[in-house]
Amino acid sequence: MSLDARLSIDRDRASAWLEHHALPVAALATAAVLVVMLYFPVGIVFSEAFLEDGIPTLGHFTDVLTDPFYFGVLADVFAEPLALGTHLGSLAAWLGAVSISLTVEYPIPGVGIPVPWIGLDTPGVRQGLFGFTAYQAALSTLASVAIGLPAAYILANYEFYGRRTLRSLTILPFVLPGIMVAVGFYAMFGQAGTLNTLLGAVGLGPFAFVETNPLAIVVLAHAFYNAPLVARLTVAAWESVDARTVETARSLGASERRAFRDVVVPQLAPAVLTGALMTFIFTFMTFPIVLALGGLQLATVEVWIYDRIQRLDYAEAATLAILETVLSLGLTYAYLRYESAQAGLARAPSPPPKERLLPDLRTALSPRRLAVFGYGLVALVLFVGPMASLVVGSFTDGSGFTLRNYAFLLERQLEGASFQTQPLPAIRNSLLFGVATLLVAVPMGVVVSMVTVRAGRTGRLVDTLAMLPLAVSGVVFGIGLLQGLVFGISLPGGWRFQVTGAVAIVVAHAVAAYPFVTRNVSPVLGSLDPAMVESARALGASRARALLDIELPLVASAIVAGAAFAFAISIGEFSSTVILASGGEHYTMPVAVERYLGRRSGPAIAMGTLLLVVTAASFVVIDRVGGRYER
Amino acid sequence: MTELRLEGVSKYYGRGGETAENGSVTDNETGTGSETETATSAGTAALQNVDLTVRDGEFFTLVGPSGCGKTTTLRTIAGFEAPSEGTVSFDGESVADVPPEDRDVGVVFQSYGLFPHMTVAENVGYGLQFREPPNGASADDRVAELLDLVDLAGMDDRTPDQLSGGQQQRVALARALAPAPDLLLLDEPMSALDARLRESLRRQLTRIQSRLGITTVYVTHDQEEALALSDRLAVMADGRLEQVGTPREIYHEPATRFVAEFVGDNNVFDGTVRGHDGERAQVDVGGATLAVAGVPPDASRVSFCVRAAALSRDAAHNRIDVALETSEFRGESVRAYGEWNDAPIVVRLDRVRRDGECTVGFDPTDAHVLEVQ
């Protein structure tokens, strides 16, 4: 046999082998990427926390756990966990000193609107950094649930023009860049913000909202993000309540209210709980919003970790990161357990009927309708206000219309020194990284879906492992990449494994983004009739061919939606980008926004507006291409 | 064309404490009852030592209640499940290492598995990308031929969601047959259709099968369907074969109590043998004495069955008074359910009296012995 013939047979064999083993190969490649780019960097961070000059130690942990700066009063408990009597004694003393009072307050400075206020007077407790982080997360969760539930009620029970669009839009805040939202809130509530301009028109103010009560603004900004999430989950649960079950309860003698309490509420509660839990996790790990609106005076764990990294104190940063990750992992695990228990949640055979919101003028004036409109107004201010303020704020200063902010950006672009942050490279980087992220994250996400959907019990384990990025904060991941891959690892034989600059950023974005691809694709893939793939195989298609011919075309819309998410996550990613891009030229638009935030907020607001335009434009493009934001 | 053989095929899920026990498989076709060792473990064994041969060109049915292992057997033949033990062979060659796409089998699933993003013609032609159409025909001609065979000519450009359930089922059949497979496997293909449609499709299926002469394995839980369609059938329960035989054998000579009860309309009695009177044994059933033919002389206890239709008002022997509880009008007869000596009884009569009392008898030779001790 000639060499050529032998080679061609080898080639045929190789391609046949590849076709038969394409899936395992792709799965292994994905696993390799995850190990090198996710588990290894995170592992580096963790080892940092457990090592001191190469010797294993728990010293970092005892230092942090017993430091009242981090854990407040709990630090004493961690310091002497066995002195139960002492701790209980101080708890009892503290409880005894709590008093509740009813007062009248004037919450809006300078305006005489009295509001009855239940004051819970507690003797000062030192919360510590973790305590404060949990406290603001709890407040944010309360606010998100309080704002999200009425929205869910309206979306699930009333029919009105634009309801479906509105329901789809509830996913939008989730993918808006955090730093942009923060700047939007600044543009609305700041000293020269739109709210003060409006109040000024009626002769009030200006008030320093952000300066006097930054926590309230941060909590509102968190609600901006998470209330739609709560609403989204609750609406889904509400619409899956079978109207027949309510009718059955009514025919068995339950009043409308009673049927709601006994039949509907138990089916909504898990969804509300999930929403609250996820909100708590997200706001516990909050970073850009607090960094931009509160700064170090409102430092959460994440912000403090970032600060430690800036000061090159990696061991302390890593220790804090581990404690934070353990907390959020625990909550995430609880959530995943719940989600798998809810897997049977399907669309109801007969969903509850929807009332017309505006059948006639008389109904429109009923108390319930008026309450709906009142809520709508509040929601409009909260959700549209900051974005509108962002745009308005970029064109105005304290006195009126101006193009000064954009002129600043242009000038910086044309005349800025190379070490200065310029707008065009930021836009270019954001778009390039976005596309590159999409190209990496979509195949990864699809492969993970394939493995998890078809693999039964092992699949669930893979699912949990692959969802780690959701639980590890961007800042932790950023340090890991920085220390593990950007600084490089020495390999035997004098080689060095190093991933730097743009590649490192794309990796960080792709790892953060692929879970969203998986979350979009898995439900659709899982609902496909297995008989289709088996039919294709019985007809002669290899497994990989069946994937290509049958499954991929059928989940195409979910993949496009996942791609939209991946792109949006990349455009908005701030936490790890700000670490990886520090000092370099690979800054993205969110990083540029943060760098422009200085004494004058104008340039940052203008940059934020550009980010808004780019984000909105990419959503329009993706929508045209055929994406859908619905799960 | 192909002869299909399963030898000692077992399938276990997970690990369980598997203990050996005796199971009996009787193949009436060869007339030999073979004692085989089967492993069993509650809930984890889907198939236990299944031995069967499907002959070239035969229409063979696997029938049994849900969870009996019939679908697992079919999926093992198709290659979607690997047997834990035993071999599957096509024409004497083991297919253990052959992936499903290379087995050359046509499969029709209960849910049909039509590709919703392809037209009818694209569905039927899908397998022709991987296998040459027979007799040198072009792929388009082959698709047209198959659509004609299942009476769907002209439906080429429809999509599956534009078809009725019966049409979808026929597209699935045409798609499975298009590459001229060696073996046709059908997994409850009729169960989603209404009764009337089922009957006409059944006739069409037997017509096509006998015209093509393709070896066919058909899975169903409907014993009537199994008896009506098959050349031979296997009754399965708990992952084991209860009996293999022609429809006539299965109906008239059930090998086990399970087969007698599953294949319908049988009354099963358990009794103690009191003595023999020539060919007949005197059997005490709950205090009454019944005469039964075919009981071995050394038997002390016996179980036997009598078909509902064999219980008649006119029979001279074995008269029993049945207290009827419910009855169903079946056109030519009335099927009535009642009790005698605390045992459930089903009878088939031309009419029943209002008061629900009825005395019937049966000929000793109409009793079929199931088990003896």
Per-residue model confidence as pLDDT tens digits over A85-102: 777 777 777 677 666 666
Give the CA distances from residue B253 to residues A371, B48, B225, B366, in Å, rounded to whole numbers and listed in that order.
77, 23, 18, 11
To the nearest whole Å, the CA of A530 is away from the closest chain B CA by: 7
Residue B252 has pLDDT above 80, yes or no: yes
Of A20, A538, A550, the CB nearest to B115: A550
The token pair that represents A555 in the structure block:
């989940």
> What is the C-alpha separation between B40 and B20, in angstroms, rounded?
6
* Contact between B175 and A535 using a beta-carbon 8 Å cutoff: yes
- Identify the CA nearest to B107 among candidates A550, A545, A20, A536: A536
Domain containing residue B235: CATH number = 3.40.50.300
Residue B307 has pLDDT above 70, yes or no: yes
> Does one domain contain both B300 and B331?
yes
To the nearest whole Å, the CA of B291 is away from the closest chain A CA by: 53
Shared fold status for A126-190+209-388 and A414-472+500-631: yes
Contacts of B107 in chain A (CB under 8 A): 534-535, 538
Q: What mean pLDDT comes out for the span B35-60?
A: 72
Does any CB of chain A come closer than 8 Å to the CB of residue B217? no
> Does one domain contain both B66 and B89?
yes
Residue A261 has pLDDT above 60, yes or no: yes
Contacts of A550 in chain B (CB under 8 A): 115
* Contact between B80 and A534 using a beta-carbon 8 Å cutoff: yes
The token pair that represents A410 in the structure block:
């242009």
Q: What mean pLDDT comes out for the span A119-144?
A: 76
* From A424-438, B63-77, B234-248, the region with the lowest mean pLDDT: A424-438
What are phi and psi for residue A500, nearest 5 degrees? Answer: -130, 175
* Contact between B78 and A534 using a beta-carbon 8 Å cutoff: yes
- Identify the CA nearest to A612 among candidates A8, A247, A175, A240: A175
- Please tell me which residue of chain B has the smallest CA distance to A541: B101
> Does one domain contain both B221 and B253?
yes
> Does one domain contain both B288 and B237?
no
- Asked whether residue B315 is domain-assigned, the answer is yes
* Contact between A534 and B109 using a beta-carbon 8 Å cutoff: yes
Domain coordinates in residue numbering, chain A: 73-124, 126-190+209-388, 414-472+500-631
Does any CB of chain A come closer than 8 Å to the CB of residue B131? yes
CA–centroid distance for A267 within its chain: 25
CA dihedral A29, A444, A487, A567 (to 10 degrees): 160
Q: How confident is the model at residue B125 (pLDDT cuts 50, 70, 90)?
A: very high
- Asked whether residue B277 is domain-assigned, the answer is yes
Q: How confident is the model at residue B357 (pLDDT cuts 50, 70, 90)?
A: confident
Who has greater pLDDT, B207 or A323?
A: B207
Q: Which residues pair with B277 in a beta bridge?
A: B280
Who has greater pLDDT, A468 or A25?
A: A25
Of B109, B116, B126, the CB nearest to A539: B126
Contacts of A456 in chain B (CB under 8 A): none
Q: How confident is the model at residue A406 (pLDDT cuts 50, 70, 90)?
A: confident
- Tell which of B199, B230, B258 closes a domain: B258
Which pLDDT score, from 0 to 100, does residue A627 have?
Answer: 46
* Interface residues from chain A to B (CB-CB < 8 Å): 20, 529-542, 545, 549-550, 553-554
Q: How confident is the model at residue B58 (pLDDT cuts 50, 70, 90)?
A: very high
Supply the angle between the helices A423-454 and A22-34 in degrees, to the nearest 10: 130
Give the CA distances from residue B109 to residues A506, B153, B163, B169, in Å, rounded to whole numbers and listed in that order.
44, 22, 17, 9
Q: What mean pLDDT comes out for the span B93-122?
A: 90
Q: Which of residues 228-247 of B touch A (CB under 8 A)?
A: none
Burial of A172 (0-12, 13-18, 19+ CB in 10 A): middle
Contacts of B124 in chain A (CB under 8 A): none
Positive/negative CA dihedral, A531, A532, A533, A539: positive
> Does one domain contain both B282 and B240?
no
Residue B276 has pLDDT above 60, yes or no: yes
Which pLDDT score, from 0 to 100, does residue A31 have?
Answer: 84
What are phi and psi for residue A99, nearest 5 degrees? Answer: -135, 150
Best of B77, B118, B130 to disrupt the A interface by mutation (most A CBs within 10 Å)?
B130
Positive/negative CA dihedral, A508, A577, A136, A229: negative
Of A529, A530, A541, the CB nearest to B101: A541
Residue A114 has pLDDT above 80, yes or no: no
Does any CB of chain A come closer than 8 Å to the CB of residue B133? no
Which pLDDT score, from 0 to 100, does residue B24 have?
Answer: 33
* Contact between A540 and B113 using a beta-carbon 8 Å cutoff: no
Report the half-sphere exposure of B29 (CA within 13 A, side-chain side). Answer: 13
Q: What mean pLDDT comes out for the span A282-311?
A: 79
Cβ partners under 8 Å of residue A470, min gap 6: A332, A515
Which pLDDT score, from 0 to 100, does residue A63 have?
Answer: 74
* From A40-44, A532-536, B114-118, B228-232, the region with the lowest mean pLDDT: A40-44
- Identify the CA nearest to A197 among candidates A389, A67, A349: A389
* From A87-96, B125-134, B163-172, the region with the lowest mean pLDDT: A87-96
Q: What mean pLDDT comes out for the span A597-607?
A: 76
Does any CB of chain A come closer than 8 Å to the CB of residue B103? yes
* From A391-400, A550-559, B52-61, B251-260, the region with the lowest mean pLDDT: A391-400
- B84 three-class SS: coil
* Contact between B107 and A535 using a beta-carbon 8 Å cutoff: yes
Q: How confident is the model at residue A10 (pLDDT cuts 50, 70, 90)?
A: low
To the nearest whole Å, the CA of B328 is away from the closest chain A CA by: 32
> What is the C-alpha separation between A242 and A464, in angstroms, rounded?
31
- Identify the CA nearest to A409 among candidates A398, A394, A397: A394
Give the CA distances from residue A262 to residues A238, A250, A272, B264, in Å, rounded to whole numbers and listed in that order.
14, 11, 16, 46
Residue A512 contacts residue A573 (beta carbons within 8 Å): yes
Our count of domains for chain B comes to: 2
Residue A445 contacts residue A566 (beta carbons within 8 Å): yes
- Asked whether residue B351 is domain-assigned, the answer is yes
- B339 three-class SS: strand
Residue A166 has pLDDT above 70, yes or no: yes
Range of B275's domain?
266-372
> What is the C-alpha separation between A608 and A526, in angstroms, rounded?
39
Q: Which of residues 298-337 of B touch A (CB under 8 A)?
A: none
> Does one domain contain both B203 and B99?
yes
Interface size A-B, in CB pairs within 8 Å, comes to 73
Reported as type and span, the H/E element at residue A297 is: none
Does any CB of chain A come closer than 8 Å to the CB of residue B277? no
Give the CA distances from residue A229 to residues A225, A285, A462, B68, in Å, rounded to whole numbers and listed in that order.
7, 16, 25, 46
Which pLDDT score, from 0 to 100, does residue A168 have?
Answer: 74
Q: Which residues pair with B36 in a beta bridge?
A: B23
Which pLDDT score, from 0 to 100, does residue A100 have?
Answer: 65
Question: What kind of fold does domain A126-190+209-388 have according to CATH?
Answer: MetI-like fold (1.10.3720)
A314: left (phi over 0), alpha (psi -120 to 50) or beta: alpha
Contacts of B126 in chain A (CB under 8 A): 536, 539, 541, 549
- Asked whether residue B124 is domain-assigned, the answer is no
Cβ partners under 8 Å of residue A615, min gap 6: A176, A177, A180, A568, A571, A572
* Contact between B113 and A529 using a beta-carbon 8 Å cutoff: yes
Q: What mean pLDDT comes out for the span A227-239?
A: 86
- Tell which of B194, B223, B258 closes a domain: B258
Contacts of B110 in chain A (CB under 8 A): 531
Q: How confident is the model at residue A185 (pLDDT cuts 50, 70, 90)?
A: confident
* Contact between A539 and B106 using a beta-carbon 8 Å cutoff: yes
> What is the C-alpha separation between A227 and A245, in angstroms, rounded?
28
> What is the C-alpha separation between A187 and A181, in angstroms, rounded?
10
What are phi and psi for residue B34, nearest 5 degrees? Answer: -110, 130
Quick: pLDDT tens for A151-160. 999 888 888 8
Residue A593 has pLDDT above 90, yes or no: no
Question: What kind of fold does domain A414-472+500-631 have according to CATH?
Answer: MetI-like fold (1.10.3720)
Average pLDDT in chain A: 78
The token pair that represents A286 in the structure block:
């909050």
Give the CA distances from residue B43 to residues A80, B15, B256, in Å, rounded to whole numbers and listed in that order.
52, 11, 22
ipTM of model: 0.79
Who has greater pLDDT, B169 or A395?
A: B169
> Does one domain contain both B278 and B358?
yes
* Contact between A539 and B117 using a beta-carbon 8 Å cutoff: no
> What is the C-alpha separation between A514 and A628, in angstroms, rounded?
17
Average pLDDT in chain B: 85
Of B111, B127, B176, the CB nearest to A529: B111
* Contact between B113 and A535 using a beta-carbon 8 Å cutoff: yes
- Asked whether residue B215 is domain-assigned, the answer is yes
Residue B168 contacts residue B160 (beta carbons within 8 Å): yes
Of B79, B130, B185, the CB nearest to A541: B130
To the nearest whole Å, the CA of B60 is away from the closest chain A CA by: 19
Residue A74 contacts residue A128 (beta carbons within 8 Å): yes
Q: What is the DSSP string of B110-157?
A: TT----TTS-HHHHHHGGGGTSPPGGG--HHHHHHHHHHHTT-TT-TT
Who has greater pLDDT, B196 or A15?
A: B196
> Does one domain contain both B337 and B249?
no
* Contact between A537 and B101 using a beta-carbon 8 Å cutoff: yes
- Tell which of B227, B258, B289 closes a domain: B258
Which pLDDT score, from 0 to 100, does residue A344 have?
Answer: 47
Which pLDDT score, from 0 to 100, does residue A214 have?
Answer: 79
Supply the angle between the helices A404-415 and A385-395 in degrees, to the nearest 10: 70
> Does one domain contain both B252 and B272?
no
